[in-house]
Amino acid sequence: MEMSANNSFLVFSGTNTRYLAEKICASLGCPLGNLVVTKFSDGEFAVSYEESIRGRDVFLVQSTFPNSDNLMELLLMIDAAKRASARHIIAVVPYFGWARQDRKDKPRVSIGAKLVADLLSAAGIDRLITMDLHADQIQGFFDVPVDHLYASGVILPYLQSLHIKDLVIASPDVGGSKRASTFAKYLGCPLVLCNKTRARANVVESMQIIGDVKDKNVVIVDDMVDTAGTITKAADIMKAAGAKSVRACASHCVMSGPASERVQNSALEEIVFTDSIPYSNRCAKVKQLSVADMFAETIRRVVCNESISSQYLV
């Protein structure tokens, strides 16, 4: 899929997503653009493009995972590109942070996902390319085109390569049932749900299995794993209910706080993520699959005005 460096587009990266941007550029056959981030002693920083981007389509690769410096860096990259007369500014955000705050679920709270969408729009993006939003309706928070990719494009082929017999797909909560149902239908296997109640954010109070997992090999499907409380509790309960093995796969490897230790000590055989977020806390059970080729192909199709939905598996 090599594309000439003389094409009318350039790819730039924020500081903490450079590892993925380099793989995207390798897949596209183009160099990564020269962007410098200058940091001041008080924590403030500035960005500058060290090459002309006038009249070019610029793709800015940056996930907005914690801390908030990643989001601020992306906003400054967008603003600098707009002031440098870029033709189109496309934000490539593999992991869209604050997406769990997509509605008012209790009085007097913010809708963080809408706020981030407004910030990106006000900064000046012409398009957003992202993957596995926590809620599909977040696409409607934007007044610019949103290309919503799915990690199933790399996770499903991996699951098929394992040739798992007596396979069952499970959702760790009712909210993820649509995603799990799509996986189950594609793989031609039964679906199991977990019904959970939370004591508070990141703390699961109770969980029950809806469906049969006895003598089955279970794969739990989710969009992200944060503290791993839900997914490890689900794995332990399914193992206790007679499951032969339990694996998990999720799009985004947030894995904060005690997550790595919980996964290591759980009944999970392995947990599979994409590399939308860097993962530095090594855990023997964690495997990451790269989405660089998928994003590179999407960038190529945007540049060439080709269909994007035709590359989806499900």
Helix H, strand E, coil C: the string for the chain is CCCCCCCCEEEEECHHHHHHHHHHHHHHCCCECCEEEEECCCCCEEEEECCCCCCCEEEEECCCCCCCHHHHHHHHHHHHHHHCCCCEEEEEECCCCCCCCCCCCCCCCCCHHHHHHHHHHHHCCCEEEEECCCCHHHHHHCCCCEEEECCHHHHHHHHHHCCCCCEEEEECCHHHHHHHHHHHHHHCCCEEEEEEEEEECCEEEEEEEECCCCCCEEEEEEEEECCCHHHHHHHHHHHHCCCCEEEEEEEEECCCCCHHHHHHCCCCCCEEEECCCCCCCCCCCEEEECCHHHHHHHHHHHHCCCCCHHHCCC
The β-bridge relationship of strands 286-289 and 167-171 is unpaired
Confirm whether pTM is higher than 0.95. no
Residue-by-residue pLDDT tens, the chain, 314 positions: 555 445 689 999 999 999 999 999 999 999 999 999 999 999 999 999 999 999 999 999 999 998 899 999 999 999 999 999 999 999 999 999 999 999 998 899 999 999 999 999 999 999 999 999 999 999 999 999 999 999 999 999 999 999 999 999 999 888 889 999 999 999 999 999 988 776 666 565 678 889 999 999 999 999 999 999 989 999 999 999 999 999 999 999 999 999 999 999 999 999 999 999 999 887 999 999 999 999 999 999 999 999 999 888 87
CA angle 86, 88, 9 (to 5 degrees): 80
The β-bridge relationship of strands 9-13 and 57-61 is parallel
Q: Nearest Cα to 117, choosing from 77, 145, 80?
A: 145
Distance CA 288, CA 252 (A): 10
Distance CA 174, CA 74 (A): 33
pLDDT of residue 202: 56
Q: Tell me the CA distances in angstroms from 309 to 51, 153, 193, one per residue in order.
A: 33, 12, 28
pLDDT of residue 4: 47
Q: Which among 196, 216, 233, 239 is annotated as catalytic?
A: 196
CB atoms within 10 A of CB 288: 15
Q: Which two tokens stand for residue 229?
A: 């409380």
Indicate if 185 belongs to the active site.
Answer: no
The answer for residues whose C-beta is within 8 angstroms of residue 270's C-beta and 6 or more apart is 247, 248, 285, 286, 287
